Amino acid sequence: NSFVTRTNTCGELRSAHVGQKVTLYGWVQYQRQGLFLVLRDFQGLTQIIIPQDEAHSHVKELLSNIPVESVVRVTGIVSLRPLGQENPKMPTGDIEVKAETAEILNSCKKLPFEIKDFIKKSEALRMQYRYLDLRSFRMQSILRLRSRMVMRMREYLCNLHGFVDVETPTLFKRTPGGAKEFLVPSREAGKFYSLPQSPQQFKQLLMVGGLDRYFQVARCYRDEGSRPDRQPEFTQIDIEMSFVDQAGIQRLIEGLLQHSWPEERALIMTPFPSMTYEEALAEYGTDKPDTRFGMKIMDISDVLRGSDIRFVQNALSYPHGSIKAICIPQGVRYLTNKNLESLKESAKSQFNQEIMEIIHKPDGSLKSLLTKFLGEKEQSELIQALNMQENDVVLLAAGEHKQVCSVLGALRLFSANLLEAAGLALRDPTAFHFLWVVDFPLFLPKAENPTELESAHHPFTAPHPSDASLLYSDPTKVRSQHYDLVLNGSEVGGGSIRIHSAEQQRFVLEKVLKEDSEVLSHLIEALEFGAPPHGGIALGLDRLISLIIDAPSIRDVIAFPKSFRGRDLMGNAPDYVTPEELEPYHIQVSWPLEEKEVKKN
């Protein structure tokens, strides 16, 4: 209550305050029959008794007719509620304030929706009236939790470990590779700034500048179009250190998260487990595994290698061919035939992959199109290899290793959703399973032209020390010193040890990626002036907070998010500008705009 004219908030009055005269400010949550109203502010609710005596008739008239969500000031005496009228669900439920004076500071017009957490409203409406949505207790608690976490992160990094908080530029130039960047026109004809997708180059240059330890709550921008659960602007906890290795970065982040973790959430244990990219792909079919449940991918190639099944033999005849499967626990009980068909259809439509199911019947036998090709011994070996129990359902796929792993990884998550929808508790929503994924490939074939390579993450990532020589002979086999932090199946952070040799950086750009190194000449030149070995990481703050509070979307943890299509529904951005406003930037819109259309939009 410092610096303001209230004596107390609406959430702090207790029986110890009885008899005190208080002044409260807040919004009218609701009013009942001219007898009492509930006043709300950021901290809680207080019941206000409307006076019924003639001496306070003006106060009664004012408070009895006030619209909900109007802003008022109330002064009165704190009293105990009458016996039996206490409300144990309210922290202030033992008391009430008997109003003596009141003032309407601002009246509220008819609301587009009620400001109550249990009232359903569309996301579009919430975003159009975001300033009203922010009044809800849920949004208030989310933004305050986020603020507390960021403050503790600052404390850990700056106060305890000597990091320097540095703001880096928002207007810069295009970075080769990575996500598509927003362009900002300049007054120089044909020249544009780019909004950086991350402060990557600047934090490396700060290491060249001898700052040793950098940190920033960084605003980042990516022009990724309409992608679900992505935002064109987002926030990272951005970190870089000199003279550090992968293990050092990992220890730092584990300590950072432990220090800033909300007390009301389940404790997290360190060190976090780690697995290689190849292990993650082989066991979970993805580089961001959800390790809260089993259903791992199993290789049964050896079990079926001696069979006469044509599609099995065809798959195994190719390089990297394999037969793999996942076992869905109690699938017979929880999955319908329609569910199984939707799983197979998903594999066909998304991956062009055929799936075969095997059902372990209660009598111990197997039901599948495969069984007529398998003897009793082979069926028994299959049951043992997959650790099948009664009523389990197995999904089997045959083909190239990575393809089969990817499809079964997707079906594993799809199956988990179906099982939970049917009532089987599979993933604990209160559990937090962190995981480091390491040893990623440094380069990947381009999707549009597999004979060319692109960076798996970004072109500044250093090769694994054991694979450094392969960079010049067979770059497709080089592992990187990149590491991802995964939480409950979502990537919440990623980083790497960087290339600090100008010669190696130039080789990667020009010879491997076929990029014009001139775009990065400033960085390459900086590396020639005694750049220290360095590495770092960025944590996706929005994603991390959304997982901590189990929000359905990262839009729920951002004060003013963009819509699915990247629009600000409240301010109607982006918006048209006039030709006169474009003229200084030497830009013309290539299709005609009627003046009335510009005004209308």
Question: pLDDT tens, 394-416?
Answer: 999 999 999 999 999 999 999 99
pLDDT at 474: 96
CATH 3.30.1360.30, domain 293-422, yes or no: yes
| Mean pLDDT, residues 178-195 | 92
From its phi and psi, is residue 190 left (phi > 0), alpha (psi between -120 and 50) or beta?
left
Q: Could you read off the pLDDT of 38-91 as tens digits, one per residue? A: 999 999 999 999 999 999 999 999 999 999 999 999 999 999 999 999 999 999
Strands 95-106 and 45-49: parallel
Average pLDDT over residues 155-169: 98
How would residue 594 be classed by pLDDT, with cut points 50, 70 and 90? low
Token pair 């697995």: residue: 275
Q: Is the pLDDT of residue 392 over 80?
A: yes
For 140-275+433-556, CATH gives 3.30.930.10
Distance CA 14, CA 21 (A): 13
Strands 490-497 and 534-540 turn out to be: antiparallel
Give the three-state DSSP class for 433.
Answer: coil
Averaged pLDDT, 582-600: 72
Return d(Cα 222, Cα 198) in angstroms, integer.
9
Place of tokens 């009141």: 102
| Token reading at 175 | 């970075």
- Specify whether the CB–CB gap between 322 and 315 falls below 8 A: yes
Q: Answer whether 410's CB lies under 8 Å from 350's CB.
A: yes
Domain coordinates in residue numbering, the chain: 15-106, 140-275+433-556, 293-422
Minimal CA–CA distance to 20: which of 82, 83, 127, 100? Answer: 100
| CATH 2.40.50.140 given to domain 15-106 | yes
Give the model's confidence band at 564: pLDDT under 50 very low, under 70 low, under 90 confident, else very high: confident
The pLDDT, as a whole number, for residue 596 is 47
Is 250 in contact with 436 (CB distance < 8 Å)?
yes
pLDDT digits (tens, 9 = 90+) for 452-468: 999 999 999 999 999 99
